[in-house]
Structure 1
Amino acid sequence: MSLAAVPRSAFPARAAEAVAACATDLSKVYGQGETRVVALDSVSVEFARARFTAIMGPSGSGKSTLMHCMAGLDSVTGGSARIGDVELAQLNDKQLTRLRRDRVGFVFQAFNLLPTLTALENITLPMDIAGRRLDRERLGRVVETVGLASRLGHRPAQLSGGQQQRVAVARALAARPEIIFADEPTGNLDSRSGAEVLGFLRQSVRAMNQTVVMVTHDPVAAGYADRVVFLADGRIVDELYEPTADAVLDRMRRFEAAGRTS
């Protein structure tokens, strides 16, 4: 069966679950005329609160574009992107900046730490900039969750790559965001460090009711999620609950085979 034959219907979160963010008929088009590229083609999807969702697909499938639109990092061409009850397209630049600061956490492939600050100072920086009071109980739980208690006084250059990414995860968690978007968070890490970071994200969902949406190309990373959403050619083509790395890899191979025969 070719990918074109897969229905383009929405894949909603399970019935009893609250929704942290959702897209409805979301489209993103770059360029015009001969250079026109449809990155997202009428995507409808919900991301459940206090769940870990992975977004997967081949290169050019639209997975990073979907995350960027859902996080308010890129504008949409059509349709709707919402975080909670807020329609992102209705916000101006200042309002978007405030929403990203106050309600969204980010973890990227690059650690994005300030080299002159300690690990603790990097973790609390977003709250310092926003002038928000530090919740020390929350901070203690986050530091314990990511295993950084003995490294808080170290600067990034004194930390391994895995430790730096743990600082980035702690920074995202400490501000108590409604949702964390993670874009290939283990892309610069070895397998052991990557597993540690994914374990911390998994633990934040279980122990702290955090909502995490992660873009990844790695079936092993996707196996840490509660649910995997698969994209191809800017459309959602499948989803998988309670995934294993083997099940994700098998699903990806089927998509690749279908793409070659379509």
Structure 2
Amino acid sequence: MTSNTAVPDTGTADPETGEVAARTEEITKVYGTGDARVVALDAVSLTIPRGRFTGIMGPSGSGKSTLMHCLAGLDVVDSGRILIGDQDVTRLNDKQLTALRRDRVGFIFQSFNLIPTLTALENIVLPLRIAGRHPDQQWLDKVVDTVGLRDRLHHRPTQLSGGQQQRVACARALVSKPDVIFADEPTGNLDSRSGAEVLAFLRDSARTTGQTIVMVTHDPVAAGYTDNVVFLADGRVVDRMVDPTADRVLDRMKRLEHAPAGGEELAR
């Protein structure tokens, strides 16, 4: 049994390799002061196993988006430590954070964020071009074949379906070989069929390329594609699930949403 309070961090590493892609140590994030004070993250300790697809779920206001933003170096914590590999993100200055986001972290957003005047291929390699780097052609070919867009590389975003555009965004995140890819509701703007294609791609990318992917989602079906799910409530990690299914995740979310703050126990 688990309760709606912080639980020990049992997901310490990839069970096969023992490697950790990222971790947090007692991180706290507070917004506002006085009566407007909100504790978004409350002493969260968490590990992200390397080469796995991890989902982060929780009721509205649970802190899941804040956790992802802090992990990715998009927001700063008030206390505690965040590490990407062996690099302490909380000690980096603005210039170093920019380099971290460019070189070690990938992003997939709900809104695709593609440049409309560029082709699919040009969008995929754009971050590398901006960084003054040339793509590894062998890896680029593998990524392109993995997303299944070989015959659409010279099409612009308006000539692609929503699912194809999101697969371009996924390829763009993968091509620089980041330590971790963070996906924020990546299927939120897609129909169910396109969403399933993107989720299957993310799952297969973790399994075939060893890519570490962390996805924030509110959708139990999406969470069912992951290797493990972390559940947040009131800014704390309150539960975990390995090899989730949509039905099990939905049941767990119902219990979280109806649990009083501080309390009701959740059945595994």
- Specify the alignment match of 2:212 in structure 1: 211
Structure 1 position 239 matched with structure 2 position 240: yes
Question: Structure 2, unaligned stretches of length 5 or more?
Answer: none
Q: What residue identity is the alignment partner of 2:106?
A: G
Cα displacement (A) at 1:258: 2.0
Residues 3 and 258, structure 1, Cα contact 8 Å, conserved in 2: no
- Specify the alignment match of 1:181 in structure 2: 182
Structure 1 position 12 matched with structure 2 position 11: yes
Q: Which has the higher helix share?
A: 1
Structure 1 position 39 matched with structure 2 position 6: no
Q: How does 1:83-232 map to 2 (within 5 A)?
A: 83-232=84-233
Residues 10 and 43, structure 1, Cα contact 8 Å, conserved in 2: no
Q: What residue identity is the alignment partner of 1:165?
A: Q
Residues 51 and 213, structure 2, Cα contact 8 Å, conserved in 1: yes
Cα displacement (A) at 1:253: 1.3
Q: Distance in 2 between matches of 1:123 and 1:143?
A: 9
Q: What residue identity is the alignment partner of 1:149?
A: R
Question: Structure 1, unaligned stretches of length 5 or more?
Answer: none
Residues 11 and 44, structure 1, Cα contact 8 Å, conserved in 2: no
Q: Distance in 2 between matches of 1:62 and 1:188?
A: 22
Cα displacement (A) at 1:115: 0.6
Residues 227 and 241, structure 1, Cα contact 8 Å, conserved in 2: yes
Q: What residue identity is the alignment partner of 1:112?
A: N
1:113-144 residue CA offsets vs partner (Å, 9 max, x unmatched):
01110000000000001111211110111011
Deviates more, 1:248-257 or 1:201-210: 248-257
Cα displacement (A) at 1:7: 4.4
TM-score (normalizing by structure 2) = 0.94
Q: What residue identity is the alignment partner of 1:223?
A: G
Q: Distance in 1 between matches of 2:166 and 2:11?
A: 31
Q: Distance in 1 between matches of 2:229 and 2:18?
A: 16
Q: Distance in 2 between matches of 1:196 and 1:56?
A: 20
Residues 181 and 212, structure 1, Cα contact 8 Å, conserved in 2: yes
- Specify the alignment match of 1:61 in structure 2: 62
Residues 107 and 183, structure 1, Cα contact 8 Å, conserved in 2: yes
Cα displacement (A) at 1:2: 9.2
Deviates more, 1:106-115 or 1:250-259: 250-259
Identical pairs, percent: 65
Q: Distance in 2 between matches of 1:207 and 1:162?
A: 21
For the aligned residue pairs, the C-alpha RMSD in angstroms reads 1.6
Helix, strand or coil at the partner of 2:259: helix
